[in-house]
């Protein structure tokens, strides 16, 4: 099997093919090989001996920036944006940090993810503009222990994405990419050309790979230009017809190198840190911290096994004890981490994700509770919503939408803070019980305490002073939640050799009788037709039933592009058959599916913009909708959702269905179309209810909201952390439900011998009487 390292060595052998850039040659760059690490690099400096990456070269820009101008974080983006706009790039707005368009990712982890889509198990690229530049904010959780420590690691950061699709006619390829990046550094940033070094590397992603050139200045990697030009399937590497420029650069690092501050956090979070230092009263020894920062880059917790020993070495070099080093540095590291974590929370919550104990919400709760733990540890008076508001204000020129969601962010953070402090109260009891039993609290137990009780290691440390918290603790608890794991187990149905079934249900949803030809009987129970109007189970909606000839159809499924119908009987291949669909069931399913969309839109308006669909099921009698929300629904909210849903029905809003190219659908309606998950197709079927709801959906739908009749919410319950289930009925079934409720009320009033209006009062009186009699009975039994 070809590993990344083996591939890199293969690419290095053929460096002229992969890394020789005419522009660099024309500028006088020469290729050298580093004697320490063996990697190839390109430089204008004939006397340079080593490559620019650590540990072959350390930072030489701290307190000594190489740029001719100094820019703050937002100014840095504006300089980069202006440069690329002048060079014919479209500047587009960031995509959500919550990745709704990739089923295998919870978060946007790189700018190129914006333009990747899955179609038929293959990653394809779709660009809204070509070429383009984007300030893509990303979330990654593999560096949590390094955040605040090394000066350069983040969980939330902005990746400047410079992207182009090159097919020989449009876009550009390697030479133009490197030319632009070189001119960006040497032009508006004023970095001397001889300071710029390009390091050869290789990028390997899901199903694709390509050579890359990382560019460094004074030991700092600023960007990485990846030339995605090969497909990789089962170690078989082939050239792509359309090649991709994927240059990703950290906005944090660009801003950092213009300032030369001790850490990149000092420039990235400048207004936030100014507020936090004032709020906490931390004394900042600038001279000492600069000396420390030049050594702190070596504290990468992924690479250093004994962090304490490394800290002791740094303390010795600085001429202080380890305790004094920790007193000076630990509070600052905590402020840096709080700044980073609150930025990630601001973006993720604004983009519709809630902290919880499942999925991507789990990772959000990790950084939220880590931030709260730091605040408690140092007994600081910091309110996280104030920090989030500062982030929104600071980033307004790049991401104005953050300010629009502050009320919702505040509401969610208040709930989470309350839960965290409730957890603190439980911690003492739980930890004391473990100690009394003589049980050991090791790494495995810490992870279990966090997963099952939400107890952070820092909370445990309050009661066990000498507890050693594993440096990679937060990496281990988050990595298993980084990807969704959806396993569908179903009876295998062999449809090999069959052509795709012609799906006609969308052409004429009212049609319930048709003729078709039998292509195959499978296992004496599944029949495949050349075409069908039967709806196959999908998207939570049950299938149609009916008859093929005189044989009942009890289930319809889709296997790939082939529709299979389960029947009680046998048919012959080639036979032309008469098919009949149960119209009453079709109409009931259609009304209930329309109702799912209506209730979702209503819930979002009543509760908040963080409401997303977390699941649904559409049957003939009722439908259920699972929505994201941080607490149980109140009676008032349920009543308002029902009222809003029936208002929408009364308005007789049109239900419009259109099939659009994916790019066009996303551009027109945004990423809220992915309520039921992603769809691995290039063209999407969008169901719109007036102007209030637009979703990618494959279900059956009516022409107007009035067709639904009315909606009755039957019950709601909180099925897991962050998810509520709403069950409801429509039309005749809802009417039947109301009549049954009325019958029960009438019968109860008769038995209690009161009017219907007096039933609640009479029941309460009866209950109080029963409680009194029960107490009296217990007293008598004791005698």
Using pLDDT thresholds of 50, 70 and 90, give the confidence band for residue 485. Answer: very low
Does the residue 382 lie in any domain? no
Assigned token pair, 381: 């008076």
Residue 301 has pLDDT above 70, yes or no: no
pTM, two decimals, is 0.87
Residue 330 has pLDDT above 80, yes or no: yes
Residue 622 has pLDDT above 50, yes or no: yes
How many whole angstroms separate alpha carbon 760 and alpha carbon 752? Answer: 10
Residue 176 has pLDDT above 90, yes or no: yes
Does the residue 378 lie in any domain? no
Using pLDDT thresholds of 50, 70 and 90, give the confidence band for residue 483. Answer: very low
Report residue 449: phi and psi, to 5°. Answer: -60, -40
Range from 315-329, 539-553, 733-747 that averages highest in pLDDT: 539-553
E strand residue ranges, 640-730: 655-661, 683-689, 693-696, 711-720, 723-730
Q: Which is nearest to 173 in space by CA: 216, 114, 213?
A: 213
How many whole angstroms separate alpha carbon 232 and alpha carbon 443? Answer: 38
Longest C-alpha distance within the chain, in Å? 106
Reported as a single tens digit per residue, the pLDDT across 426-472 is 888 898 888 888 888 888 888 888 877 778 887 888 788 778 777 67
Q: Indicate if 577 and 591 belong to the same structural domain.
A: no
Q: Indicate if 778 and 643 belong to the same structural domain.
A: no
Instruction: Decide: 147 and 220 in contact? Cβ < 8 Å.
Output: no
Residue 482 has pLDDT above 70, yes or no: no
Query: Which pLDDT score is estimated for 145?
Result: 83
Residue 480 has pLDDT above 70, yes or no: no
Long-range CB contacts (within 8 A, 24+) of 279-287: 279/380, 279/381, 279/382, 280/331, 280/335, 280/378, 280/380, 280/381, 280/382, 282/331, 282/332, 282/335, 284/332, 285/328, 286/262
Query: Residues 400-428: what's their mean pLDDT?
Result: 92
Query: Residues 767-772: what's their mean pLDDT?
Result: 83
Query: Which pLDDT score is estimated for 773?
Result: 81
Report residue 290: phi and psi, to 5°. Answer: -65, -45
Complete DSSP assignment for 331-384: HHHHHHHHHHHHHHHHHHHHTT----SSHHHHHHHHHHHHHHHHHHHTT----H
How many whole angstroms separate alpha carbon 100 and alpha carbon 662? Answer: 13
Helix (H) or strand (E) segment spanning residue 556: strand 551-559
Does the residue 348 lie in any domain? no
How many CA atoms does the CB half-sphere of 644 hold within 13 Å? 18
Region of residue 75 (phi > 0: left; psi between -120 and 50: alpha; otherwise: beta): alpha
Query: Which pLDDT score is estimated for 491?
Result: 55
Q: Indicate if 166 and 241 belong to the same structural domain.
A: yes
Complete DSSP assignment for 587-645: HHHHHHHHHHHHHHHHHHHHH-TT--EEEEEE-SS-EEEEEE-SSPPPHHHHHHHHHHH
How many whole angstroms separate alpha carbon 73 and alpha carbon 153? Answer: 16
Q: Which residue has the higher pLDDT, 30 or 144?
A: 30
Using pLDDT thresholds of 50, 70 and 90, give the confidence band for residue 517. Answer: very high
Does the residue 178 lie in any domain? yes
Residue 539 has pLDDT above 60, yes or no: yes
Q: Indicate if 761 and 620 belong to the same structural domain.
A: no
Reported as a single tens digit per residue, the pLDDT across 195-254 is 999 999 999 887 789 999 999 999 999 999 999 999 887 778 889 999 999 999 999 999
Does the residue 344 lie in any domain? no
Q: Indicate if 45 and 161 belong to the same structural domain.
A: yes
| Residue 493 neighbours by CB under 8 Å, 6+ apart | 522, 523, 526, 557, 559, 564
End of a domain among 540, 557, 581?
Answer: 581
Query: Residues 584-592: what's their mean pLDDT?
Result: 94
Q: Indicate if 176 and 254 belong to the same structural domain.
A: yes
Alpha carbon separation from 284 to 274, 287, 372, 586, 762 (Å, rounded): 11, 9, 22, 70, 69
End of a domain among 581, 598, 632?
Answer: 581
In the block, tokens 């309606």 appear at 669
Residue 94 has pLDDT above 70, yes or no: yes
Query: Which pLDDT score is estimated for 54?
Result: 85
Does the residue 75 lie in any domain? yes
Using pLDDT thresholds of 50, 70 and 90, give the confidence band for residue 367. Answer: very high
Query: Which pLDDT score is estimated for 143?
Result: 84
Pairing of strands 576-581, 546-548: antiparallel
Assigned token pair, 594: 């329309």
Using pLDDT thresholds of 50, 70 and 90, give the confidence band for residue 302. Answer: low
Q: Which is nearest to 566 in space by CA: 604, 509, 521, 616?
A: 521
Instruction: Decide: 676 and 627 in contact? Cβ < 8 Å.
Output: no
Would you state the torsion angle of the CA atoms of residues 70, 298, 204, 171, taken in this order, to the nearest 10 degrees?
Answer: 10
State whether the Cα torsion 274-275-276-282 is positive or negative. positive
State the CATH number of the domain containing residue 673.
Answer: 3.30.980.10
Q: Indicate if 575 and 625 belong to the same structural domain.
A: no
Considering the chain, what is the average pLDDT of its residues? 91
Pairing of strands 562-567, 576-581: unpaired
Query: Which pLDDT score is estimated for 775?
Result: 80
End of a domain among 198, 228, 261?
Answer: 261
Q: Indicate if 575 and 591 belong to the same structural domain.
A: no
Using pLDDT thresholds of 50, 70 and 90, give the confidence band for residue 756. Answer: confident
State the CATH number of the domain containing residue 541.
Answer: 2.40.30.130
Query: Which pLDDT score is estimated for 741?
Result: 83
Instruction: Decide: 545 and 582 in contact? Cβ < 8 Å.
Output: yes
Between the two ends of the chain, the Cα-to-Cα distance in Å is 83
Q: Indicate if 726 and 774 belong to the same structural domain.
A: no
Sheet holding 683-689, edge to edge: 655-661, 683-689, 693-696
Instruction: Decide: 345 and 372 in contact? Cβ < 8 Å.
Output: no
Instruction: Decide: 666 and 673 in contact? Cβ < 8 Å.
Output: yes
Residue 484 has pLDDT above 60, yes or no: no
437 CB burial (10 A radius; 0-12, 13-18, 19+): exposed
How many whole angstroms separate alpha carbon 381 and alpha carbon 281? Answer: 10
Cis status of the peptide bond prior to 131, with omega within 30 of 0 = yes
Q: Indicate if 622 and 764 belong to the same structural domain.
A: no
Q: Which is nearest to 677 in space by CA: 737, 602, 626, 731?
A: 626
Q: Which residue has the higher pLDDT, 528 or 54?
A: 528
Query: Which pLDDT score is estimated for 303?
Result: 58
Residue 499 has pLDDT above 90, yes or no: yes
Q: Tell me the three-class secondary structure of 370-428, residue by residue.
A: HHHHHHHHCCCCCCHHHHHHHHHHHCCCCCCHHHHCHHHHHHHHHHHHHHHHHHHHHHH
Reported as a single tens digit per residue, the pLDDT across 106-133 is 999 999 999 998 877 778 899 999 999 9
Q: Indicate if 574 and 721 belong to the same structural domain.
A: no
Q: Indicate if 186 and 144 belong to the same structural domain.
A: yes
Query: Residues 567-578: what's their mean pLDDT?
Result: 95
How many whole angstroms separate alpha carbon 692 and alpha carbon 571? Answer: 46
Q: Which is nearest to 339 in space by CA: 259, 254, 423, 282?
A: 282
Does the residue 103 lie in any domain? yes
Complete DSSP assignment for 18-32: HT--HHHHHHT-EEE
Instruction: Decide: 650 and 642 in contact? Cβ < 8 Å.
Output: no
Query: Residues 265-278: what's their mean pLDDT?
Result: 97
Q: Which is nearest to 139 in space by CA: 303, 345, 339, 336?
A: 345
In the block, tokens 């029947």 appear at 567
Q: How far does CA 447 lie from the centroid of its chain?
A: 23
Q: Which residue has the higher pLDDT, 478 or 251?
A: 251
Domain that holds residue 774: 753-782
Does the residue 408 lie in any domain? no
| Tally of domains in the chain | 4
């Amino acid at each position: 099997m070809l590993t990344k390292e083996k591939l890199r060595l293969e690419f290095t052998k053929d460096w002229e093919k992969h890394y020789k850039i005419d522009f660099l040659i024309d500028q006088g760059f020469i290729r050298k090989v580093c004697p320490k690490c063996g990697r190839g690099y390109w430089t204008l400096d004939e006397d340079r001996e080593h490559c620019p990456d650590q540990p072959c070269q350390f930072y030489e820009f701290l307190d000594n920036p190489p740029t001719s101008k100094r820019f703050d974080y937002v100014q840095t983006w504006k300089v980069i944006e202006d440069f690329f706009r002048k060079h014919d790039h479209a500047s587009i707005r960031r995509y959500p940090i919550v990745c709704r368009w990739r089923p295998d990712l919870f978060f946007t982890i790189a700018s190129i993810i914006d333009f990747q889509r899955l179609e038929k198990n293959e990653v394809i690229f779709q660009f809204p503009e070509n070429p383009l530049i984007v300030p893509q904010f990303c979330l990654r959780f593999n560096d949590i222990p390094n955040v605040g420590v090394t000066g350069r690691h983040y969980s939330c950061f902005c990746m400047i994405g410079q992207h182009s699709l090159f097919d020989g006619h449009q876009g550009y390829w390697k030479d133009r990419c490197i030319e632009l990046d070189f001119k960006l550094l040497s032009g508006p940033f004023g970095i001397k050309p001889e300071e710029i070094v390009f390091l050869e590397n290789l990028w390997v992603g899901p199903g694709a790979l390509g050579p890359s050139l990382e560019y460094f200045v004074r030991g700092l990697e600023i960007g990485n230009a990846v030339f995605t030009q090969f497909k990789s399937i089962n170690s078989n590497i082939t050239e792509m017809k359309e090649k991709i420029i994927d240059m990703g650069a950290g906005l944090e690092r660009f801003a950092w190198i213009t300032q030369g501050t001790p850490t990149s956090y000092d420039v990235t979070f400048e207004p936030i840190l100014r507020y936090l230092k004032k709020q906490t009263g931390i004394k900042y020894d600038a001279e000492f911290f600069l000396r420390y920062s030049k050594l702190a880059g070596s504290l990468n917790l992924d690479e250093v096994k004994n962090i304490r020993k490394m800290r002791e070495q740094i303390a010795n070099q600085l001429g202080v004890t380890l305790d004094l080093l920790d007193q000076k540095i630990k509070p600052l590291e905590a402020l840096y981490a709080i700044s980073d974590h609150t930025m990630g929370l601001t973006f993720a919550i604004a983009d519709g994700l809630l902290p919880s104990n499942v999925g991507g919400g789990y990772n959000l709760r990790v950084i939220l509770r880590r931030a709260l733990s730091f605040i408690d540890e140092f007994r600081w008076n910091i309110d996280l919503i104030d920090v989030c508001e500062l982030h929104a204000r600071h980033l307004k020129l790049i991401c104005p939408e953050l300010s629009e969601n502050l009320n919702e962010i505040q509401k969610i953070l208040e709930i989470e803070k309350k839960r965290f402090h409730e957890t603190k109260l439980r911690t003492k009891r739980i930890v004391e019980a473990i100690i009394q039993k003589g049980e050991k609290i090791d790494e495995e137990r810490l992870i279990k305490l966090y997963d099952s009780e939400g107890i952070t290691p820092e909370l445990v440390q309050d009661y066990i002073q000498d507890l050693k918290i594993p440096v990679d603790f937060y990496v281990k608890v988050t990595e298993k939640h980084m990807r969704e794991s959806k396993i569908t187990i179903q009876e295998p149905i062999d449809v090999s050799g069959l052509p795709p079934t012609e799906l006609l249900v969308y052409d004429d949803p009212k049609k319930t009788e048709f003729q078709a030809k039998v292509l195959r009987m499978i296992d004496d129970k599944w029949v495949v037709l050349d075409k069908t109007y039967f709806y196959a189970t999908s998207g939570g909606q049950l299938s149609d039933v009916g008859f093929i000839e005189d044989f009942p159809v009890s289930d319809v499924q889709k296997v790939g592009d082939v529709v299979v119908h389960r029947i009680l009987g046998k048919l012959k291949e080639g036979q032309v058959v008469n098919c009949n669909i149960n119209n009453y069931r079709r109409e009931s399913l259609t009304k209930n599916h329309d109702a799912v969309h209506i209730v979702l839109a209503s819930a979002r308006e009543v509760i908040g913009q963080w409401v997303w669909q977390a699941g649904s099921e559409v049957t003939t009698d009722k439908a259920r909708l699972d929505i994201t929300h941080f607490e149980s629904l109140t009676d008032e909210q349920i009543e308002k959702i029902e009222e809003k849903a029936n208002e929408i029905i009364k308005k007789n809003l049109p239900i419009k269905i259109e099939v659009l190219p994916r790019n066009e659908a996303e551009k027109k309606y945004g990423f809220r179309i992915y309520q039921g998950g992603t769809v691995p197709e290039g063209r999407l079927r969008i169901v719109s209810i007036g102007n209030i709801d637009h979703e990618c959906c494959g279900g059956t739908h009516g022409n107007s909201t009035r067709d639904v009749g009315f909606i009755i919410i039957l019950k709601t319950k909180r099925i897991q952390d962050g998810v509520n289930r709403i069950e409801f009925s429509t039309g005749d079934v809802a009417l039947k439900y109301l009549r049954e409720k009325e019958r029960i009320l009438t019968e109860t009033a008769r038995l209690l011998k009161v009017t219907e209006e007096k039933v609640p009062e009479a029941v309460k009186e009866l209950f109080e009487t029963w409680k009194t009699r029960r107490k009296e009975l217990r007293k008598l039994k004791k005698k």
